[in-house]
Amino acid sequence: MKKYILDLTITQLKNILKTKVSQEYVFSQILDWIYVKKVISFKDFTNISKKLKEKLDEIFILRTLKIIKKEQSKIDGTTRYIFQTSDKKYFFAVLLSSKEKNSICISSQIGCPVMCSFCSSGKVKYIRNLTKGEILEQILQIENDTKKRISRVLFMGMGEPTLNINNVTLVLNSLLSNKEFGIGKKHITLSSVGNVPVIKKLADSRFGVRIALSLHATDEKQRRKLIPNNFGFSINDILDAGKYYLKKTNSRLTIEYILVKDINDSIASAHKLARLLKHHELINSNMQVNLIPFNFINNTQFKTSKSESIQKFKNMLKLNKIIVNIRQAKGIDIKAACGQLGY
Ligand code: SF4
């Protein structure tokens, strides 16, 4: 069986090719075709000998995913992709383009075991983790499809990335490596509902990417309602992990807070959130709160907060010197917005 080249690390690839590629510069050319020029066939490796191209084609495959559906928002141009894996499973990625940057929201799992009650991905039965190659190929496929260069990667698609941390770690290596994707750490954000030990491990790693913690609530009961499988860590544990992450990395931390009408959008909740952030010494220029108005999904009782409540919530945080943004829904007409990635 052919090996999926994107699943391999540079060292693994080098080992496989050691009897076939003796010169370092030829190996660098191969990497360049895969990750920089992003070609989809070994035939297109034009500066490589015919014999070596045939050998590569015999041993490896470059792509395993198929784009089976692509929809573009008429409102803002956001594009939602459905990918099919080689074992015929389905998952999503979203391209968010602006004049300045092209961001991609990628999936790390098929289905999501966390099962947040406000999220369509949480309603899809968990099947398996995506491999390193399958995570990276989302970027390459979308770049091939659009001829745009992705400059920002958000681990905010289907799945909880910290539950697939071994593959996600390999992906981070690839994204940050100048021989592969060469994307700066400030342009990579990993989100988690609060897998505390993994957040702390990431804090101790050399990656230093941005972290988004999906807090969504200010008391445990409220939080369990929104995130049933929340790893059992308390809000205090999660905010402590956030503080540790900032201290160790000097990176940027975002606290994500979905606003659901009459569940967690009261002014008292805003006040409590400000108190919690203050108590954990998280009110500083490296921390911001993203308020996400709930986006409609099927089979839920939840409703979107009134714009007046959203504004009041925001003002209360601002009053407490917290940097706060209201996240504008992107691709809402094609179910590509936050929490809408389901079948
Ligand atoms: S919000 Fe994230 S963690 Fe929660 S179900 Fe959706 S994909 Fe999973």
Tens digits of per-residue pLDDT, 113-171?
A: 999 999 988 889 999 999 999 999 999 999 999 999 999 999 999 999 999 999 999 99
CATH of 66-334 given 3.40.50.1950, 3.30.565.10, 3.40.50.720, 3.20.20.70: 3.20.20.70
Cα distances from 11 to residues 18, 323, 327, in angstroms, run 10, 42, 40
CA–CA distance, 294 with 179 (Å, rounded to integer): 40
On the CB side of 106, CA atoms within 13 Å amount to 32
Closest CA relative to residue 254, chosen from 239, 265, 268, 269: 239
**What is the pLDDT at residue 221?**
93
Task: Determine whether the shortest distance from the Cβ of 154 to ligand 1 is under 6 A.
Answer: no
**What is the pLDDT at residue 230?**
85
Tokens standing for residue 195: 């897998």
Dihedral in degrees, nearest 10, Cα atoms 52, 54, 58, 59: 20
**What is the pLDDT at residue 10?**
96
**What is the pLDDT at residue 138?**
98
Tokens standing for residue 116: 């947040």
Burial (Cβ within 10 Å: 0-12, 13-18, ≥19) of residue 134: buried
The residue assigned the tokens 């994307």 is 183
Which of 193, 199, 256, 297 to mutate to test ligand 1, by most ligand atoms within 8 A of the CB atom? 193
- Cα of 18 vs centre of ligand 1, distance in Å, is 42
Enumerate the domain spans of the chain. 3-61, 66-334
What CATH number is given for 3-61 in this structure?
Answer: 1.10.150.530
Alpha carbon 165 to its chain centroid, in Å, reads: 12
- Cα of 119 vs centre of ligand 1, distance in Å, is 6
Task: Determine whether the shortest distance from the Cβ of 215 to ligand 1 is under 6 A.
Answer: no
234-259: b or e for each residue (b if 16 or more CB lie within 10 Å)?
Answer: ebeebbbbbbebbeebebbbbbbbbb
Which of 107, 108, 119 to mutate to test ligand 1, by most ligand atoms within 8 A of the CB atom? 119
CA–CA distance, 322 with 257 (Å, rounded to integer): 13
**What is the pLDDT at residue 229?**
87
Residues catalogued as catalytic: 338
**What is the pLDDT at residue 328?**
87
What is the reported pTM?
Answer: 0.96
Task: Determine whether the shortest distance from the Cβ of 110 to ligand 1 is under 6 A.
Answer: no
| Residues 184/152, Cβ–Cβ less than 8 Å | no
- Cα of 285 vs centre of ligand 1, distance in Å, is 27
What backbone phi and psi angles, to 5 degrees, belong to 137?
-65, -25
> What stretches in the chain show pLDDT beneath 50?
none
CA–CA distance, 299 with 37 (Å, rounded to integer): 43
281-310: b or e for each residue (b if 16 or more CB lie within 10 Å)?
Answer: ebbeebbbbbbbbbbebeeeebebbeeebb
Residues linked to residue 154 through DSSP beta bridges, in sequence order: 105, 189
- Cα of 265 vs centre of ligand 1, distance in Å, is 20
Task: Determine whether the shortest distance from the Cβ of 121 to ligand 1 is under 6 A.
Answer: yes
